[in-house]
Structure 1
């Protein structure tokens, strides 16, 4: 049985990822900051874990509660404050990076001993095309029209973290995905994709074989060339 931890799993993409992986036979631990919002994840059969990815003690306690770990999905994320360029300073950027980037390092570092004991360790980081320079610079893509300092910068960092982790952890499969523009609370449910479509890439990378790809960036249509 594959044991999987998903951060930010109480709603949206994280919740749908939990549903699909449970359906695929994984034992899923649904990490969430507020366990009072665990009703939907618990109904799916997920094990609920209190996990605030911005708090090291919470991260350590959550990882210590797991019996094993084969797949880590770093999904938790925020859009950050809606501020003008004049209002958006270092403190505002820090708040976004703390949840979207630093948390990946916190959780991954804490999970390394368990992942290293797995026969087939997998890490999937959820980024966005909004952090991929080639997409953002293409006027024909929707990513080019989104002008925001925090979220886009954080997701660019997530993509690079995935590349570096894949090189530093050659015994693990480490990949990064772009869910695409999906209808979630993060964007006021404005995206044209369903949450099922938005989880195609993360589920694909969470279920790869031991000799599967590593260091890639992909969406639901496949690997995206850097």
Structure 2
């Protein structure tokens, strides 16, 4: 199986790389800097330097993947902020959040999805329960919530253009990473193990036609009710 992990230099992305390599899969992984690329090479991944927040960097991704058949692609890259609605976001904070969490997805998706279609594979995007509009109870992480809701819409809207690929939205849980902090409930190893099982369980070759058919799932396979 050929696996692509976008945003793999640390945390969940790096653990996905490790576990798929340990399972005997071929893994291509991206990072934006030399340190991240070195970590990925050390565990045995093929590497691509990529900054998802920079459209110029993403623009050549399809060319770099030319001829690949991707059984699984995962968009993991993301940033977080905690601020709420009691004060407006700065332009800089807005741009950083939206460029990484939304524009990065919208730039990468058309570059990668055709190679996923070649294999009839899956393209999974790390979303969040904080992007679940039906369960928003506070403004904490206001910008992040908006970015993940926008990511969800971008993926759902794009799915009909790539009918031979299965798109999925995944919430990895509250995970012990730099973003999730050490107080989180899940280890990164347990989250990734569960995500891999969920992906395998939900693999489908059916043609997708709308948001009701794009799985929006928690790490352990439980679906979100509504959007």
**How would you bin the TM-score normalised by the shorter chain?**
0.7 to 0.9
- Is the contact made by 2:61 and 2:111 (CA closer than 8 Å) also made in structure 1? no
**For residues 75-224 of structure 1, what are the structure 2 equivalents within 5 Å?**
75-80=76-81, 85-116=86-117, 118-137=118-137, 144=138, 147-204=140-197, 206-207=199-200, 208-211=202-205, 215-222=214-221, 223-224=223-224
Structure 1 residue ranges, 4+ long, deviating more than 6 angstroms after superposition: none
Cα distance per residue 1:4-43 (max 9 Å; x no partner): 2211101000001111122233211110111322333222
TM-score w.r.t. the length of structure 1 is 0.84
TM-score by length of 2: 0.84
Q: Matches of 1:59 and 1:190 in 2, distance apart? A: 34
How far apart are residue 219 of structure 1 and its match? Answer: 1.1
Corresponding position of 1:141: none
Matches within 5 A, 1:37-76: 37-66=36-65, 67-70=67-70, 71-76=72-77
Kindly state the Cα deviation for residue 135 of structure 1 after the two structures are TM-superposed: 2.9
Q: Which runs of 5+ in 2 are unaligned?
A: none
Q: Are the aligned partners of 1:163 and 1:216 in contact in 2 as well (CA < 8 Å)?
A: no
Q: 1:104 to 1:204 in 2, by over 3 A?
A: farther
Q: Quick check: 1:38–1:48 contact (8 Å CA) kept in 2?
A: yes
Root-mean-square deviation (Å): 2.4
Native 8 Å contact 2:84 2:142 kept in 1: no
Unmatched 5+ stretches in structure 1: 138-143
1:47 is displaced (CA, Å) by 0.8
3-state SS of 1:182 partner: coil
